[in-house]
Amino acid sequence: MAPKAATGRTSRNPDLIRGVGKFSRSKMYHKRGLWAIKAKNGGVFPKHDPKPAAAETPAKPPKFYPADDVKKPLANKRKHKPTKLRASITPGTVLILLAGRFMGKRVVFLKQLTSGLLLVTGPFKVNGVPLRRVNQSYVIATSTKVDISGVDLGKFDDQYFEKEAEKKKKKGEGEFFEAEKEEKKVLPDDKKDDQKTVDAQLIKSIEAVLDLKTYLSARFYSEPQFFISKFCFME
């Protein structure tokens, strides 16, 4: 007899206390109607044949055993997360760069890349800062914001900024005698075009705000009499 689903079924033998039922074994035999099942089956409980075991495919012994037991390195399941972005930095915020070639420049934040670095642009026409990646630590956020809703940033990611793999030079006799050709790193035209497209949108938003362009062109600098600790970068 196929077992019925037990939904909604309570035990016929209520517990007096945990582990002690109300009815004895013989009473339960009668309650469950086991006598009727036996009678139906000719005086014995019906037996079910055991299910045939699934045929096992014989495992092939491996052809090759390594000479020594080689230890497998533990699997590294770490996933890289981008650095948590400070609350003060949102797309369109004007940032002040604190280090590097463009130290002191005020710059527009575009988006955070998957590596955690911030994608930033001058815009180039305004202060000479190109599309660039910057670490969050080397930046002060201001409360000034630029509208960047019209800018398409989908194509910019860390791959875009990676150095092109240098082709290995084959050493030949002639190489030693030739004057070393200095290959100038010229920015490819498509990158220049990307800069122009992004900046075109930004410059429109910037020119709409009074004095913002002059603000972005100016560098930030400090002198002792400025009392930087008292500066209010965020209003």
Partner 1 sequence: MVKGHQGEGVRSKSNQYPNTSLIHIEGVNTKEEVSWYCGKQWIALLLHLGQVPRPHGNSGVVRAKFKSNLPPKSMGDRVRVVMYPGNI
Give me the residues that bind partner 1 (CB under 8 A), please.
86, 88, 98-99, 136-141, 222, 224-230, 233-234
If the CB atoms of residues 45 and 227 are measured against partner 1, the closer one turns out to be: 227
Q: In the bound complex, what is the minimum distance in angstroms from residue 124's beta carbon to partner 1?
A: 23
Cα separation of 186 and 43, whole Å? 97
For residue 165, CA distances in Å to 127, 162, 175, 181 come to 30, 9, 21, 18
Cα separation of 13 and 24, whole Å? 9
If the CB atoms of residues 3 and 224 are measured against partner 1, the closer one turns out to be: 224
| Helix intervals (H) in 34-86 | 34-40
Q: Order of strands, edge to edge, in the sheet holding 93-97?
A: 132-134, 118-121, 106-112, 93-97, 139-145
Q: In the bound complex, what is the minimum distance in angstroms from residue 209's beta carbon to partner 1?
A: 21
Beta bridge partners of 95: 107, 141
If the CB atoms of residues 55 and 232 are measured against partner 1, the closer one turns out to be: 232
Q: In the bound complex, what is the minimum distance in angstroms from residue 136's beta carbon to partner 1?
A: 7
Q: In the bound complex, what is the minimum distance in angstroms from residue 189's beta carbon to partner 1?
A: 34
Q: In the bound complex, what is the minimum distance in angstroms from residue 101's beta carbon to partner 1?
A: 14
If the CB atoms of residues 71 and 230 are measured against partner 1, the closer one turns out to be: 230
Number of Cβ atoms within 10 Å of the Cβ of 166: 7
If the CB atoms of residues 90 and 222 are measured against partner 1, the closer one turns out to be: 222
